[in-house]
Amino acid sequence: MKRLLLPALAMSFLALAGCTNTSTYSGDVYRGNQAETAQTVTYGTIQSVRPVQIQGGEGQGILGSLGGAVIGGLLGNQVGGGSGKTIATAAGAIGGTIAGSKVEQATDRVDGYELEIRQDSGQNVVVVQKADRNWQVGQRVRLIASGSSVSVAPY
């Protein structure tokens, strides 16, 4: 039974680590609180396009840390006996926490673009969003703003 439990837990952890919601970094996806609200629109021209990585989840890695701790603790518990087993379990949980957090951070990244845009007013702004379309220097765009959130859409 123990031989089946560990691989099942490991697979569950890896599956959950891949369940990140990176679609919200797109200019084509609106959050629920943006629907039916007035948003301002300005126009501009792309001055530069730079590929970047967007790290989702703000680096918290709670799910990965928790899953890693459980798996690491279970693996550590398989080692030794008595107080050595307790130390191995604790060390496995700590190591699993660190490894699980790193795995989640690595899987919670999405390709993006840093778009520098000269607005028609003459002001330059930079917007970072998901790389879900091909932007070109010189392309006319709309900047759609709601509070501190801004997305770029084709004109």
pTM of the predicted model as reported, rounded to 2 decimal places: 0.56
The low-confidence residues of the chain, meaning pLDDT below 50, are 1-2, 4, 14-23, 59
Which of 86, 108, 99, 109 minimizes the C-alpha distance to 10?
99
The residue with tokens 């599956």 is: 15
Residues in contact with 80: Cβ distance below 8 Å, sequence separation at least 6, in sequence order = 87, 88
- Summarize pLDDT for 60-104 with one digit per residue, the tens: 556 666 767 777 777 767 776 777 777 777 777 787 777 776 666
Q: Is residue 141 within 8 Å of residue 126, measured between CB atoms? A: no
Question: What structural domains does the chain harbor?
Answer: 25-56+110-155 (2.40.50.100)
- DSSP single-letter state for residue 24: G
